[in-house]
Amino acid sequence: MISILIPTHNDDCLNLATSIVQQASAIKGLSWELIVADDASTDSTVVEHNSRIAKLPNCHVFRQETNVGRAVIRNLLAEHANGEWLLYIDGDGQIILDDYLLRFIKASRHATVCYGGYRMMPGPEGNLRWRYERAAAPALTAMRRQAHPYRCFNISNLLISRELILAHPLDNRFVNYGYEDVMLGRDLREAGIDVLHIDAPIGFYNYEDNVHFVAKTEEGVRTLYHFRHELTEYSHLLQVVGKLNKAFVTLYLLVFQLLKSKWRKNLIGPSPSLWLFKCYKLGYYLSLSQRAGELTAKPSTRREPTLPR
């Protein structure tokens, strides 16, 4: 049996659930269920739409009264599930392949963890998220992901055995945005569990505006800083920071403090620069280290460090 699990917070999942139900119902002999977990959505229209999912075949919806966070809600879904296989899909995704479920069912014969990837559908040219995802796309093919199976890893669009996720649950310390899936990848690697990457992407059409994307990026960098000692090998940004010499860090922080407002204005504006986005992320992380008095820079002879994507 396969349990399709959809965590959501203010995302309308009705179309997503309907598409999955259509595919699952068409697969002869497939035993399945679909569970939506609403993590205390505040949009009443979304809550009402998602409640309709419970009327679809084999579908269930439960709602948290208080927001418990990204890791906890996914762990709760695993506990509620009845299937031996769990397929996690984020609530803002859309099915773009007619044989989407079949691809995962076939892959389950070869692995206990399988990641299908994602595809960002065309967005507004001035949207920073769209520009960022478009630039990253060539590195996210199944073949390229398989070369670094634990770093190119996401809990959304992930098939995993229920037994395995209960033994290696998501870390409940991750309440805010970012990196709970990276920590899971680290835990799977340390446990010697292989991850299979396949071409079975979920599509994403909804792009937050630049103001919200920059704010979410800042939240993600704060999360990364909090877990920096545990995720050093799994973050390009942390690896870059570890190679910077003290003089460069001091100079960079000075420049960042002088230009931070101007860089941020560009990023939330109509023509955001990906280069400034990289610079901003690095500066934001270093400023967190400076504030805590814990700059981790190491002596280095590197003159022109590569900025993180």
Nearest to 300 by CA among 249, 234, 232: 249
Q: What single letter denotes the amino acid at residue 173?
A: R
Q: Apex CA 152: angle with CA 195 and CA 305, to 5°?
A: 140
**What local confidence, expressed as pLDDT, does residue 303 receive?**
40
Phi, psi of 173 (to 5 degrees): -70, -20
**What local confidence, expressed as pLDDT, does residue 272 receive?**
98
**What local confidence, expressed as pLDDT, does residue 206 receive?**
86
Q: Which distant-in-sequence residues (6+ apart) come within 8 Å of 290 by Cβ?
A: 253
Phi, psi of 254 (to 5 degrees): -65, -45
Whole-prediction pTM value? 0.91
Q: What is the dihedral of CA 247, 248, 254, 260, to 10 degrees?
A: -160
**What local confidence, expressed as pLDDT, does residue 113 receive?**
97
**What local confidence, expressed as pLDDT, does residue 293 receive?**
77
Joined together, the tokens standing for residue 248 give 């460069």
**What local confidence, expressed as pLDDT, does residue 294 receive?**
67
d(CA 5, CA 10): 16
* pLDDT, tens digit only, all 309 positions of the chain: 999 999 999 999 999 999 999 999 999 999 999 999 999 999 999 999 999 999 999 999 999 999 999 999 999 999 999 999 999 999 999 999 999 999 999 999 999 999 999 998 888 999 999 999 999 999 899 999 999 999 888 999 999 999 999 999 999 999 899 999 999 999 999 999 999 999 999 999 889 999 999 999 999 999 999 999 999 999 999 999 999 999 999 999 999 999 999 999 999 999 999 999 999 999 999 999 998 876 644 434 444 444 444
Alpha carbon distance, N-terminus to C-terminus of the chain:
39
**What local confidence, expressed as pLDDT, does residue 309 receive?**
43
Kindly list the domain boundaries of the chain, sorted by start residue.
Answer: 2-204, 210-292
In this structure, CATH architecture of domain 2-204:
Alpha-Beta Complex (3.90)
Nearest to 169 by CA among 18, 178, 160: 160
**What local confidence, expressed as pLDDT, does residue 151 receive?**
84
